[in-house]
Amino acid sequence: KAGVTQTPRYLIKTRGQQVTLSCSPISGHRSVSWYQQTPGQGLQFLFEYFSETQRNKGNFPGRFSGRQFSNSRSEMNVSTLELGDSALYLCASSSGLAGGRPDTQYFGPGTRLTVL
Amino acid sequence: AQKVTQAQTEISVVEKEDVTLDCVYETRDTTYYLFWYKQPPSGELVFLIRRNSFDEQNEISGRYSWNFQKSTSSFNFTITASQVVDSAVYFCALSGTSGNTPLVFGKGTRLSVIA
């Protein structure tokens, strides 16, 4: 079974631009979560999508948004980029069980975003 | 609020030594899940283990073993006879029980195994 894939792997943008990152989950997984990893803040949860609906959201400004398509693929968008948005953005997929027992999240290789 | 503390920022050992990575967590939930992930230089987080709060049995998988002690809110990870390929950043994480609960990660421990 193919793992989680993320594209692109590397991005360089300038302040004020916007960026879209893509994530394809493991086949059969319906939940996609996004995390931001920085040296200072570590790994922080951005949001989670299940069946095209955002089920949970972390504490990030509205410049960070996402969506999920009917095939479970997800995109994350960051508008008006700031220097502090430079980070490794990791996508994770899971079956997304609705209750009782969370399934394990499997991570992709990440997209490294550099904002100049 | 949930919190995970990995007090060891960096550990360096010589190959074949045993090493234990500490993880202490805080949660008000009575049921929760604990995880360990490995992040090699490539960046991808690799799942190692999941443990629920009702199962305090220690687990061994090859050279890896995990010690879960609910009384001290700890979930420590031991690598026996470490190898250079074990060099990575290791993260301990905590989650609740619903399907959409996010993972709360510790800051990670960078392990360097020297040949």
Of A42, A48, A104, the CB nearest to B107: A42
Q: What number is the average pLDDT over the span A44-69? A: 95
C-alpha Rg value of chain A to the nearest Å: 14
Note whether A31 contacts B47, CB cutoff 8 Å.
Answer: no
Selecting from A42, A109, A112 the residue whose C-beta is nearest the C-beta of B105 gives: A42
Residue whose tokens read 């394990």: A104
Q: Nearest-CA neighbor of A30 among A65, A76, A70, A3?
A: A70
Could you read off the pLDDT of A63-109 as tens digits, one per residue? 999 999 999 999 999 999 999 999 999 999 998 765 556 678 999 99
Structure tokens at A49: 């999508």
Q: Residue A34's pLDDT is what?
A: 97
- The letter for the amino acid at B60 is I
Tell me which residue of B21, B23, B17 sits closest to B2, measured CA to CA. Answer: B23
Closest among A86, A71, A87 to A27, alpha carbons compared: A71
